[in-house]
Amino acid sequence: MSDQKAADEGTSANQRLIRVFISSTFRDMHAERDHLVTVVFPELRERIEQLGLAFFDVDLRWGVPGKDVYGESANFWDYCGQWIERVEPFFVCMLGQRYGWVPEPEELRDAGEALLQERESRSVTDMEVRYAVLQTRRKRRSFFYLRATAAPDAAADFVDSPLQLNKIERLKQEVRTCGRPVREYRCSWTGTGFAGMEEFGRLVMEDLWSGVLRDDRYVSREVWRQVLGADPEGISPLSKSIR
């Protein structure tokens, strides 16, 4: 097989595979991540498979393996960055009241990243958002979901210290002005965690399904017309604004 043919087949395979990277802090967002994995993604996967495509979600809350996606010894931040690049353009981020784990500069292999971390310590979630959206071109299919229901201050697994809370609020402000869709959702506090993720799930489903249909890499205009009954060029400005 020629190199060009192999490259063409690799490109074709990538166009048939839709990946989404899930970004958030971990222990306070289990309810949201579980709802995505058990409710939203199975339905989304079924819809996508009807289009002749495959769906794969990247959820790193269970840890980083010993090897990265290229078979090398894995470093947590290198591994995150590799997956963000591989799943472009779909990036889903949930933010609540935790800023999250802040690595030490020496834990970052890249000298530039380590220097930035020395100047201003950042959590891994903050780094993911900046790498995927705020500092790069990877904006087209990025979606943000801000939890509007607050946990009580005493719930340490869900609420960070005042210093860290200031940082997460600052990150939210940057997200709100980044030009990508930002949704706020309400849920219920049970006394030990959050429940009632139906609104959150509906928002994610609508955003990702629309993103798939509107991306020519995955769905041709003819299929777009068949599914939605309209030409993409004829959709109202309000509908186009979710791109």
Domain assignment of residue 150, yes or no: yes
Range of the domain at 225: 13-240
186: closest CA among 149, 145, 159? Answer: 149
Residue 222 CA to residue 154 CA, distance in Å, equals 54
Question: pLDDT of 131-179, one tens digit each?
Answer: 888 876 555 689 999 999 999 999 999 999 999 999 999 999 999 999 8
The total domain count for the chain is 1
Domain assignment of residue 4, yes or no: no
Tokens standing for 95?
A: 């933010």
Band (64; pLDDT cuts 50, 70, 90): low
pLDDT at residue 205 in the model: 97
pLDDT at residue 63 in the model: 53
The answer to whether 149 and 96 have CB atoms below 8 angstroms apart is no
Domain assignment of residue 6, yes or no: no
First-residue to last-residue Cα distance in the chain: 38
Question: pLDDT of 98-134, one tens digit each?
Answer: 999 898 888 888 888 889 889 989 999 999 998 888 8
Q: Cis bond leading into 42, ω under 30°?
A: no
The answer to whether 5 and 76 have CB atoms below 8 angstroms apart is no
Query: How many CB atoms are located within 10 Å of the residue 86 CB?
Result: 14
Residue 227, helix vs strand vs coil: helix
What stretches of 96-225 adopt beta strand conformation (E)?
A: 141-147, 182-185, 188-189, 194-195
**Full-model pTM:** 0.81
Which CATH number is 37's domain given? 3.40.50
